[in-house]
Amino acid sequence: MIAGQEKAVYRPSIVIAEDFVLLQEEIRRVLEPEFDVIAAVEDGRAALETVATQAPDVLLVDVSLPGLGGFMLAEKVRKTNPDVKIIFVTAHADPQYIARAFELGAQGWVLKGSINVELRTAIRTALDGGVYRSRVLG
């Protein structure tokens, strides 16, 4: 290595699908020290297009998205881009919602109130092949 040149460090790429822009910004702030947030979109259809064109490592998705809901988005992404890790970031703690997400192949479920504490861990767990559920869910 030539003096002054640093070896490039791989930073996993993230797409955020969240219709509340202030929450998008908070998620970006939490993640950017460790990950590359390559896009933040406000509806499910835009998320599907972005995943198709950008091929991120991870898609963060809310259950309630306009245009194409989170579950339908996850189902479509799983079929078209099976290598993308899907983590739901949502306010919903309903066990049926959580079960549905994992049936669709999601690798994580993080409650919005736990973003600062758990989101980075959930992403690392998914990238390592594991599954993550917010600790507050038990």
Report pLDDT for 61.
98
Beta strands in the chain (DSSP E): 13-17, 36-41, 58-61, 85-90, 108-111, 132-133
Q: Specify the fold of 13-133.
A: Rossmann fold (3.40.50)
Report pLDDT for 3.
57
- Express each pLDDT in 117-128 by its tens digit: 999 999 999 999
- Express each pLDDT in 59-118 by its tens digit: 999 999 999 999 999 999 999 999 999 999 999 999 999 999 999 999 999 999 999 999
User: The pTM is what?
Assistant: 0.93
Asked whether the beta carbons of 126 and 132 are under 8 A apart, the reply is yes
Q: Which long-range contacts (CB under 8 A, 24 or more apart) does 129-136 make?
A: 131/102, 131/107, 132/87, 132/107, 132/108, 133/98, 133/108, 133/109, 134/93, 134/109, 134/110, 136/93, 136/111
